[in-house]
Structure 1
Amino acid sequence: MSERSENVTEKLMGSIIDTIAENLPKQKSGKFDPGSVSDKVRNKLFGRQNSMHRVLGGGKSADVLLWRNKKISSSVLALATTIWVFFEWIDYHFLTIVSFALVLGMVVQFVWSNFSSMLSGSPSKVPRVELPDELFVNIAVAIGAQVNKFLSFLQDLSCERNLKHFVVAIAGLWAVAVIGSWCNFLTVIYIGFVCAHTLPVLYEKYEDQVDDFLYSLLGLLRDQYQKLDQGVLSKIPKGNMKAKKSE
């Protein structure tokens, strides 16, 4: 959570990108040119024109994900890590932690209420902990809105008659199912939480390098597909369906 760990992460990310970029073969003339694509789309990933802050929705949530305030972002990530360590490594359970927290609170209030009068000479009012009803309502509304948005997104993909988007969505859900079979639900949530707090800020700092690498990789894949098409796919004889039907 310190600046030292953040610098180590930045150096590691930079070295990985530089190593991969150096091993990529140079594009020849007449083929896919990342520079020409970057001129058209301003070298943004998938033609993105907005900033990462706008892409993430803006506001306080985007500030936390992009580490605009390092103390708040590090505190949120540290809290999530602590919860995950308690449940996964120390093998605590949710009911156990809640019970211990309630016991600790009751002990503090008991000591406060019984010994405050002995120390000060007059009984002091013990503070009461009460969660507002609006907190639970806002949490439920926020969760419901995100679930409905996700369901609407999946239904739009199913009904827009775009086979490419439909296959990508199916592949993504299949990948999530496979990852879920490797680890439990809490670990999956924690991995997604850590990725959300690391990948956007790293991409924002190394945006040009990542975009150049991805466009170069897309160019290599396109060249390999063209070679495969010219060498193998184009030589495969295509049957005449009309002739077969007439026979």
Structure 2
Amino acid sequence: MPEKSTAENLADIVETLADSVSKRKSVSFFVEEKSNPVANQFKRLFGRENPVHNLLGGGKSADVLLWRNKKISASVLTGATVIWVLFEWLNYHFLTLIFFALVLGMLAQFIWTNASGLFNSGRSQSKVPRLVLPKEIFVNIAVQIGAEVNRALGFLQDVACGGNIKQFLLVVLSLWAAAVVGSWCNFLTVFYVGFVAAHTLPVLYERYEDEVDNFVYAVLEQIQHNYQKLDAGLLSKIPKGKLEGKKSE
């Protein structure tokens, strides 16, 4: 009897130890699983929480920018490239292309109308489809452009009146850099470069976001480290006036 009781006691001890180990593993697993999103949140660029698709609006425009449908995105980028080549390399003018397009459209409708009457003798001429652009397209374009322009003007006014000198200087330097870049090339080339960047950089960032975030944070840490060295070696040694003594006097 005593041998049996000791064996049972040993079995109970082993079972309790196994249960405790399994509980600890499960608890540590869930703790790590909960802590991973927090760690990833701090590693994301600019502290973002939403995916890139949501940051771009989450609609059809975001699908085009992120190449969800490769045919549509490729056709849009190809069309923009063709327009840029026609205007920049071939030196076409906007009015010339518009009038040539209208002439070609009228010729196509003229041939369609007369050819259908010749081949279908005795029958009524087939109706040529008419191109009619809906008014909603122009209204939506105007509303979107107006909203973006007002948002940009509001941001610039907030920066100018906000009292944040660092942000004010950063925006002024950015505008100055944009003005310098604009002096190198015309508006169409700048617009085309921005269009190509908008259709390539988001999809590349979405595909390699971990590598890009780690690289950017490494660069920021290096810049911060160099600034601390500069502050400790030079900026902290700059003498400051005794404002308190002057005020007391």
What's the TM-score bracket when you normalise by the shorter of the two chains? 0.7 to 0.9
After superposition, give the CA deviation of every residue in 1:125-179 in whole Å (9 maximum; x if it has no partner). Answer: 2222222222222221221111112112222222332222222222221121111
* 1:80 positional shift: 0.7
Q: Out of 184, 187, 190, which is 1:188 matched to?
A: 190
After superposition, give the CA deviation of every residue in 1:192-240 in whole Å (9 maximum; x if it has no partner). Answer: 1111111111111111111111111111111111221222222233344
Matched, 1:39 2:39: yes
Q: Which amino acid aligns with 1:169?
A: V
**Cα distance in structure 1, aligned partners of 2:206 and 2:133:** 37
Q: Out of 171, 177, 188, which is 1:175 matched to?
A: 177
What percentage of residue pairs aligned between the two structures are identical?
Answer: 63
Q: CA RMSD in A?
A: 2.1
Specify the alignment match of 1:98 in structure 2: 98
**Cα distance in structure 2, aligned partners of 1:42 and 1:239:** 39
Q: How many residues align?
A: 210
**Cα distance in structure 2, aligned partners of 1:220 and 1:234:** 20
After superposition, give the CA deviation of every residue in 1:20-41 in whole Å (9 maximum; x if it has no partner). Answer: xxxxxxxxxxxxxxxxxx8273
Go from structure 1 to structure 2 and tell me whether the alpha carbon gap of 1:165 and 1:237 turns closer, same or farther (over 3 Å shift). Answer: closer
Specify the alignment match of 1:233 in structure 2: 235
Q: Out of 205, 215, 218, which is 2:217 matched to?
A: 215
> Which one is further off, 119-128 or 183-192?
119-128
**Cα distance in structure 2, aligned partners of 1:151 and 1:221:** 31
**Cα distance in structure 2, aligned partners of 1:42 and 1:232:** 31
**Cα distance in structure 2, aligned partners of 1:228 and 1:142:** 46
Q: Which amino acid aligns with 1:124?
A: S
* 1:71 positional shift: 0.8
Specify the alignment match of 1:18 in structure 2: none
* 1:242 positional shift: 7.0
**Cα distance in structure 1, aligned partners of 2:87 and 2:247:** 64
Whichever structure has more helix as a proportion of its residues is: 2
- Give the 5 Å matches for 1:113-152: 113-121=113-121, 122=123, 123-152=125-154
**Cα distance in structure 1, aligned partners of 2:238 and 2:149:** 46
* 1:246 positional shift: 10
Specify the alignment match of 1:71 in structure 2: 71
The higher radius of gyration belongs to: 2
**Cα distance in structure 2, aligned partners of 1:149 and 1:88:** 31
TM-score under structure 1 length normalisation? 0.78
Specify the alignment match of 1:80 in structure 2: 80
* 1:241 positional shift: 5.6
Q: Secondary structure at the match of 1:57?
A: coil
Bigger relative CO (Cα 8 Å, ≥ 6 apart): 1
Q: Which amino acid aligns with 1:55?
A: L
**Cα distance in structure 1, aligned partners of 2:77 and 2:85:** 12
TM-score under structure 2 length normalisation? 0.78
Structure 1's unaligned 5+ residue stretches are 1-37
Q: Which amino acid aligns with 1:233?
A: L
* 1:112 positional shift: 1.3
**Cα distance in structure 2, aligned partners of 1:237 and 1:164:** 22
**Cα distance in structure 2, aligned partners of 1:157 and 1:235:** 31
